[in-house]
Amino acid sequence: MRIDIISLCEQNNIPFLTGGHHHCTEGWVQLHCPFCPESKGWHLGFHIETGAFNCWKCGKHKTREVIQALTRGTRLSAAALLRNYTSNAPVARAIQTRPRRVTPPPHMGPLKSQQIKYLEQRGFDAAQLEEEWGIKGCSHLSGEWAWRIVIPIRDITGRVVAYQGRTIRDEVKPKYRMTAKNKIPVNPRSLIYGIDKIKKDKVIIVEGCTGCWKLGAGNAVATLGIDWSMEQANQLRKIQHRYILFDPEKQAQEQADKLANFLSTFPGTTTVLSGFCTDPGEFSRRLVKKVLHKLGFER
């Protein structure tokens, strides 16, 4: 039996999302949970294949009870509505073929002198980054990857599954380039930079790779932007102590709070670190040492 939840929502003026939000996940439809005090957070998910409702804040709910609450109807009206939007049609499954391995950017090799200079001007030790993080460089022959510093993104086993490139030229847009989503051998929304290096029960969660570089391998991971996903959050919740250190801008801090709200529902501790004037990737060595010492990390 299959519930056509999208038609049900569209024809009954029920807000829903299938993408474009960090709570949206492939195969799910997101709605405002009618059972939560804060009902405007797209917390309630409907799994298209199984027909199950689950709110990441207040848990599982019976289908009829959800429809009754969303439509503000009666038990009988909700049951009738469900019958109208339920059929025996099988759930269509999107077949997505992913490559077995990721292809490196063209003409990738050791860092070029211009790229080393760029990193050193920003307070990084290029040789250390090459050894610790395996960063590379692209030459002028690399097309859209030309003159970018190339950052391998690894899964939890250490396998390279994607590449991110940072241009060293101010006039080049976009500043960052990522391997195309359909060329990544895993779900792109599950990528967490530095996750393969976490060996302890605590972690600092930052936005970008440079924050990980400053804080040190094994201490920090990056969500590769403020639009974190549920796939990322579900990996991070398995780490006992989580410290979220996003950039100081208002939007980034709002996303940090949302991530903390989700992670705080799981065992362990979650803390948002705020009050800084610069991004973690721009921290001075003195500030890095101070932060790590206070949190009980080593550098």
pLDDT tens for the chain, 299 residues long, are 688 898 898 888 888 888 766 677 778 898 999 998 766 778 899 988 888 998 887 888 999 999 999 998 899 989 998 988 888 765 554 445 688 899 999 999 999 999 999 999 999 999 999 999 999 999 999 999 999 999 999 999 999 999 999 999 989 889 999 999 889 998 898 999 999 999 889 999 999 999 999 999 999 999 999 989 888 998 999 999 999 999 999 999 999 999 999 899 899 999 999 999 999 999 999 999 999 999 999 87
Give me the residues paired with residue 148 across strands: 167
Cis amide linkage into residue 248, ω under 30° from 0:
no
CB atoms under 10 Å from CB of 189, counted, come to 18
Across the chain, mean pLDDT equals 91
* CB distance 26 to 48 below 8 Å: no
Question: Which of 34, 38, 35 is closest to 16 using CA atoms?
Answer: 34
* CB distance 280 to 206 below 8 Å: yes
Distance CA 221, CA 212 (A): 6
CATH of the structural domain 102-188, one choice from 3.30.430.20, 3.90.980.10, 3.30.460.10, 3.30.1130.10: 3.90.980.10
* CB distance 292 to 216 below 8 Å: yes
Residues 80-134: tens digit of each pLDDT: 989 888 887 655 544 456 888 999 999 999 999 999 999 999 999 999 999 999 9
Predicted pLDDT of residue 94: 45
* CB distance 268 to 230 below 8 Å: no
The CA-based angle 60-65-70, given to 5 degrees, is 100
Predicted pLDDT of residue 95: 46
What six digits make up the tokens of 37? 């005090």
CATH of the structural domain 192-299, one choice from 3.40.1360.10, 3.40.50.150, 3.90.1300.10, 3.40.390.10: 3.40.1360.10
Predicted pLDDT of residue 116: 98
Domain limits, CATH 3.40.1360.10, in the chain: 192-299
Beta-carbon-side half-sphere exposure of residue 285 (alpha carbons within 13 Å): 5
Q: What's the N-to-C CA distance of the chain in angstroms? A: 55
Predicted pLDDT of residue 39: 61
The b-or-e profile of 49-74 (16+ CB within 10 A means b, else e) is eeeebbbbbeeebebeebbbbbbeee
Distance CA 194, CA 153 (A): 8
CB within 8 A of 252, min separation 6: which ones? 207, 226, 246
Give me the residues paired with residue 202 across strands: 241
Predicted pLDDT of residue 24: 74
Predicted pLDDT of residue 57: 79
CATH entry 3.30.310 includes domain 2-87 = no
